[in-house]
Every structure is written in structure tokens, then in C-alpha cells.
Homo-oligomer: A and B are copies of this chain.
């Protein structure tokens, strides 16, 4: 690393620089560059060339100060490392980035104090709105109703029904998963899932049981709750096979669990998917693609959750306020671990 004397960075050009170079007033320069009428085409051209030459970029701070909207939104996440926040964040960034909106990223690390701090800082910067991204689908404390800007909660809904939240439809996710297995001709279906303290685990199980009941079936054993890990998948499968060696499908609460399940199935001589179909949740590429065979999984469409949140916020900024919990449907991504019974 070599210290060096920087080239004196010249201040960025201002509108008055452009106006001076083009030989017009500031007002005319502004109108020319903003495509407004009341400027002769020839004059406009001169201004545009001047702006070009000076690499002029209008100062958004000044514009924001004037028009009362900063053109920025705050994205408040509770855990950047969490793999659920990122796709949502991408979707939101995507939906905004296309337009004229820039996104402030803040990570509260699950700490309410830090979150409060970030909210204050963002309000000081006059963001036009806020998206709060959670890391699990359980409700989280509302930021309150007294904020001067609209707020949309994504993935983790607010506990205040008066707020607007966008979440994946976990109940439906459980249902469509079972329906896929039924469509493959499976009838002896078990469910191994994760931490019972997670609403997502409960809701998926609920949806799955409903779909089974609708088909006049009962699950093979009760749904088994445990942890979101491969280890639990392995342990639960071992127990399950001892009691119900005749099962023909296992619906897993996560892709990690599914990997553990598949490992034990293979070790015990059950073929996937010929003997037993296996299916996961989350559609986490690195796991679904690498497993043998590739794993069918339910994708939560998190990017779409992010985009929907961005659009809702956009609407709210425009004055269209909504409230309640809006759900986004999940989808089954079919791979080799599920196939019709031949």
C-alpha cells in the first residue's frame, strides 16, 4: 500500500457552472436539462453540451430538499447473514433500482436498540419509506404507528394488524408440497420438520395435514419436530424407518433436513425416488443441486416477497395505504428426488 498525494479532486460541477458555460441563466439551464418547455431547441442543445462537458450531475440533496422527497428508502434487516433476508433484499433492491429510488441498507443484528437507532438515522436522512425484513415468519414488534413515513414488513409480519406485511404463504406451501407427492402416486407420507418454535414449521405441517386429510389420507406417524439440521434429519429418519418401513415419501421441513433424510435412506438401502420420494423446503440451490439425486423443494419466492414489499411501499408513499398481512404463494421446484411411482 503506497501513500500518495491525491490529485486534488475538483468539486463536482453545479448547475450554475453549466449555465455560465452555456451563457444562460441558471433557470434556463435547469429547464433545458429537465426537458421542460419554454426553451428554444438550440439553447437547450447548448446547455446539454455544456452539462456533458462538465460531467454535470444534478445534486439530489438539493433537489430532495426542494421537492420534499429524498427518493430514498430504508431497508432494515435483522440479520444480513441469514439466507432468507438476502433474496428479499434483492427483490426489493431490484424493484426500486429500476427507478429513481436508492436504498439505504441497515442491519440491526436482531438488536432492538440498534434497530431504533437505525430508524432514527434513516428518518434524519428523510427516507420516503421503510421496509423491515425479518429472518423468520413469526410476527415481530411493530415499529409503531407514529412514524412520519410508511413502513412495510417483509417475511416477518408486524404484530400490529394495522401495519402492512408481506409474507410467504406457509400453509399453502405445505399443501402444495403434499399435493405434489400425491400426484406422484405416494400415499404413505411422513413429515419430518424443524424447530416447533417456528411458526413456519407449524404452518407447513398444518397445510400438509390438511392436504392429506382432503385426500382421505393420514400421515405416516405424527409430524416430527426437531431442528433445522441434517443431524436431526438423520436421527428422525432412523426412528421413522424402524416404526414404518413401508413409507413411500418423506416431506422434510427444510432442505438440510432432507439431505440428512436421504443419507440415511440410502444407507439403509432405500432407493430415492423409486422406493421413497423426498422433498424439502426453501429450495436452497447449494443443497438441492448437490444432493443425490437433486432434491425437489418448495421455493418461497422470496424475491417476489421483496418486490411485492417494494411495490406496496411505493404505493404507500404515493398515498395508497393498506394494512393487514398479504401472502405470496410458494411454488414446487421438481427435481430428481420425487417421481411418479411406476
Contact = CB atoms under 8 A, between A and B. Distances in A.
A106 B125 contact: no
A256 B61 contact: no
A127 B36 CA distance: 28
Interface of A is mostly: mixed
A29 B150 CA distance: 29
A126 B93 contact: no
A124 B57 contact: yes
B322 A123 contact: no
Given A86-B81, A102-B104, A106-B97, A148 B60 contact: no
B107 A104 contact: no
Interface in A310-342: 316, 319-324, 326
Contact of A230 (B1, B9, B290, B326): B290
Nearest to A93: B107
A6 interface: yes
Given A2-B323, A97-B106, A290-B230, A57 B12 contact: no
Tallying the copies of this chain within the complex gives 2
B93 A105 contact: yes
Interface string A8-19: 011110000000
A158 interface: no
Nearest to A285: B81
A93 B64 contact: no
A301 interface: no
A74 to B, nearest CB: 9
A58 B148 CA distance: 14
A316 B121 CA distance: 24
12 contacts: A1-B326, A5-B321, A9-B150, A57-B124, A60-B124, A61-B65, A80-B93, A89-B105, A93-B107, A100-B121, A105-B105, A256-B290
4 closest residue pairs by CB, A with B: A6-B321, A105-B105, A230-B290, A57-B124
Interface of A: 1-7, 9-12, 57-62, 64-65, 68, 70, 72, 75, 80-81, 86-87, 89-90, 93-94, 97, 100, 102-107, 118, 120-126, 145, 148-150, 164, 229-231, 256, 259-260, 286-287, 289-290, 316, 319-324, 326
Given A4-B323, A61-B125, 15 more contacts: A1-B323, A2-B323, A4-B322, A6-B319, A9-B148, A12-B126, A12-B148, A60-B125, A61-B70, A89-B105, A97-B106, A97-B107, A100-B121, A102-B106, A103-B105
